Each structure stands twice: as C-alpha cells, then as structure tokens.
Amino acid sequence: MATDRQDRIRHRAHEIWEKQGRPHGADYQHWDQATREIDAEDAAAKKPAAKASASKAGASKPAKPAAKAASPAKKAPAKAKAPK
C-alpha cells in the first residue's frame, strides 16, 4: 500500500511542478507539499468512516424515549368542603 501512496504523491508533486511552470531545484518542496496534500486527503477519508462506525456502535444502545406528549388538560381544583 505504501507504493500506492508514493505513486499518488509522485503524481501530485508532478502536477504541482507543472502548475508552477516546471522550475528547476524545487523538487523537495513539491514533494513535501504533495505529501501534505495526500496525507490530508487520507485523513479526511478516514473521518467519515470513523463517524459511521461510531454511529453503528451507538445503534446497539436503547433508543431514547420519545418526547413526552403534551400533558392532559389540568383538572379543576377540588371543591372546598363546607365547615360543619
């Protein structure tokens, strides 16, 4: 898999080199920039997968109870008893 990563970095570094007008002597800078970009892409691709697995793990938890329905109409206060 490392060769796949290196191929991606090499291809991206070449694109950067061409975009900057094919300057001489900037190969290390282009390689470093390409490495950072590829690593950032890989990290971003892993984040949604991590969130998906976390949500699957959360699916085994019992569901939260639904919001309580509106309370029934309030009862009228009890009638006061007349004194004896």
Taking only the tens of pLDDT, the chain with its 84 residues reads: 578 999 999 999 999 999 999 999 999 999 999 999 999 999 998 887 666 565 565 555 555 656 555 555 566 666 666 666
Residue 44 in domain:
yes
- Helices (DSSP H) in the chain: which residue ranges? 2-19, 27-59
User: Do residues 46 and 68 touch, judged by C-beta distance below 8 A?
Assistant: no
Range of the domain at 44: 23-51
User: Do residues 16 and 30 touch, judged by C-beta distance below 8 A?
Assistant: yes
Say what the pTM is: 0.54
Residue 3 in domain:
no
Residue 37 in domain:
yes
Residue 83 in domain:
no
